Every structure is written in structure tokens, then in C-alpha cells.
Amino acid sequence: MISTTLENDLRAAIRSIPDYPKPGIVFRDITTLLGNARAFRRAVDELVQPWAGMKIDKVAGMEARGFILGGAVAHQVSAGFVPIRKKGKLPHATVRIAYSLEYGIDEMEVHKDAVEKGERVILVDDLIATGGTAEGAVKLMRQLGAEVLAACFVIDLPELGGADKLRKMDVPVRTLISFDGH
């Protein structure tokens, strides 16, 4: 559990944009958090806190903000970094999966040699909503033989049920703040 002060600081560092990408959606923009050195550092520290000192082989970040956060988390825990990309963006042999988004369906992929069987992986992204992207990432990592230790997000939209979806897949979920609605 994070402190109320930290939660308020992180919440204040996130810009909310109404009616983006479509009417009725409030987009939670973390670029303002990333631009605030103190908030960015505190978010990264808190995302990894429960696993400090554990053996973590890889951190997998989901495109695109998960690359930024995941790279920082990987550095913090001395682990390798794995980019989980949208279809067609990786140059080598890949494993691909279709997944549901809040606004439709897409595909993502990872290099076949990104993780080795038995490696311990933490997933990182900026936000969990319906959980489709994160669920797809868990399935990709498990397909490659990785052990998914946890999934970490700065923001949770609990009304959309994504974090609960991952917990039902036996993946512990770490979120730092939550917002009502979507």
C-alpha cells in the first residue's frame, strides 16, 4: 500500500484529457508524470518495491508507455528488458497474439528468443483498464515458458475490471493509484 501523500503527488502529476480518444473517455496522460523527475522516480521506486531483492530476470513493457516505465524498472532491479510490440514492429522471428482493447481488437508480438523457459518476468505498463493488453502479454510470456511474477501499473481503472482479470490468471497486480470511470 502506498502512502496517501505519494498517491496525491502521483495523481497531481497526471493530466486528464476528457473525450479522448472518443467522447465519454477520460484519457490519463502520464507524459506529465514522466516529465516530473521527482514523480517519475517515485513511481518507478514504488512499482518495484514489493519485489526488491527478488530474482527478476526480465521486465516486459507493453507498447508504448510501458517501454519507458519498464526500462526504468528493469534498470532499478538489474534485469533485462523485453519490448512487447504491436504487430509488425519487430525485425526478427516473433510470437504473436490477438487481444482485446477498450476500443477494439489488435495484435501484439515479442521476439521468440526474448525470454528463456523458466525466466522470471514482471510486466509493466502505465495503465490497466479492461486488461486485454495485459492479459495478452501474460499469455505471450507464458507461451515462451516464462514465469510471470507480477504485473505493475501506475494507474488502475477498477470499474473496467482489468486488474481482477489478471488476478484470476494467478498474476499478482501492483497499481499505485486508481481513477473512477474510464
- Is 65 designated active site? yes
Which one from 65, 85, 109, 119 is the annotated catalytic residue?
65
SS3 102: coil
Which one from 7, 63, 96, 102 is the annotated catalytic residue?
102
Helix H or strand E segment including 76:
helix 65-76
- Residue 84: φ, ψ to 5°: -100, 115
Cell, residue 167: 488476478
Among positive and negative, which fits the CA dihedral 68, 69, 74, 75? positive
Q: What is the residue whose three cell numbers read 470511470?
A: 181
- Is 7 designated active site? no
Please, are residues 99 and 106 in contact by the beta-carbon 8 Å criterion?
yes
Q: Give residue 41's identity as a one-letter amino acid code.
A: R
Please, are residues 151 and 173 in contact by the beta-carbon 8 Å criterion?
yes
Could you list the active site residues? Answer: 65, 102
